[in-house]
Amino acid sequence: MKLDAVIFDLDGVITDTAHLHFVAWREVAQEIGIAIDETFNEQLKGISRMASLQRILQHGGKAEQFSAADCQAIAERKNARYVASLASLTPDSILPGITELLRDLRARGVRIGLASVSLNAPTILNALGISSLFDYCADASRVVHSKPDPEIFLAACQGLRVSPKQAIGIEDAQAGIQAINASGMASIGIGADLTGAGLLLPSTRELNWQQLEAFWQHLHPASATVKE
Ligand code: BG6
Ligand code: MG
């Protein structure tokens, strides 16, 4: 079976915005008397803005204390801080190995997709200068179910017109690995603490075409990797 597409998560895979999300949430949570740390933050990766806020409120034992309008205002405050921190992004903010991998995939005719639940994804790809390298970006504003539901990965496959069985997804979040696996795609995890990934790499430094090709051939021993 041929590898038709590779679908990337954004935050924590293409650039280190996962950390910027954490910093913005930590500040806003502190304002409402809730402390969060990096360990707790692992649970927020891949989770939509409002669902992240709900988890933070529950973590602080304050789930019942805020109205829907309060939650909206808190989420907007978090986003304003997060968006302000995005001003620091440049093409140098792309994580190691990613630019080379995107170029290698294009050179081999493997389609490239994005499956991020971030409403800020288009702004970030523009700031990094790599929007044109993506054949299709799933629209986070149309996604009803956040990861670990496979919806956004299936939307990306549909937009690329590829079968999930002929695609690889790449994620740094546990919820993201679950979403990829549930979609029927093969999964690559970035980060030491993830479980369930078909291939687990410590960082994007180890993520390259040779790794992907070897992984795909391991899954599909008799297949050619590149489209004829
Ligand atoms: C995901 C991040 O990519 O996007 C989450 O992993 C974040 O941490 C989510 O909450 C939503 O992002 P945004 O930019 O729409 O608030
Ligand atoms: Mg991520």
Closest atom of ligand 1 to CA, residue 52: 10
Torsion angle of C-alpha atoms 35, 38, 39, 45, degrees rounded to 10:
110
Q: What is the pLDDT of residue 154?
A: 98
Does 23 contact ligand 1 (Cβ within 6 A)? Answer: no
Residue 215 Cα to ligand 2 midpoint, Å, equals 21
Mean local confidence (pLDDT), 216-226: 79
Nearest CA to ligand 1 atom 16: 49
109-145 residues labelled b (16+ CB within 10 A) or e (exposed): ebbbbbbbbbebbeebbebbebeebbbbbbebeebee
- Show the domains of the chain with their CATH numbers: 5-15+91-219 (3.40.50.1000), 18-88 (1.10.150.240)
pLDDT above 70 for 24: yes
Mean local confidence (pLDDT), 4-33: 97
Q: What band does 168 get if pLDDT is binned at 50, 70 and 90? A: very high
Active site residues: 9, 11
Orientation of helix 98-107 relative to helix 209-219, angle to 10°? 60
Q: What is the pLDDT of residue 124?
A: 98
pLDDT above 50 for 110: yes
CA gap 18, 35 in Å, rounded: 18
Does 44 contact ligand 1 (Cβ within 6 A)? Answer: yes
Strands (E), the chain: 5-8, 111-114, 136-137, 167-171, 186-190, 199-201
Mean local confidence (pLDDT), 202-206: 97
Nearest CA to ligand 1 atom 11: 118
Q: What band does 96 get if pLDDT is binned at 50, 70 and 90? A: very high
Mean local confidence (pLDDT), 153-167: 98
Q: What band does 204 get if pLDDT is binned at 50, 70 and 90? A: very high
Residue, of 136 and 223, whose pLDDT is higher: 136
Q: What band does 127 get if pLDDT is binned at 50, 70 and 90? A: very high
Does 118 contact ligand 1 (Cβ within 6 A)? Answer: yes
CA gap 103, 83 in Å, rounded: 28
State the pTM of this model. 0.94
Nearest CA to ligand 1 atom 8: 45
pLDDT above 70 for 228: no
221 preceded by cis ω (within 30°)? no
| Helices (H) then strands (E): counts for the chain | 9, 6
**Spatial CA neighbour of 178 closest among 41, 36, 43, 39:** 43
Does 117 contact ligand 1 (Cβ within 6 A)? Answer: yes
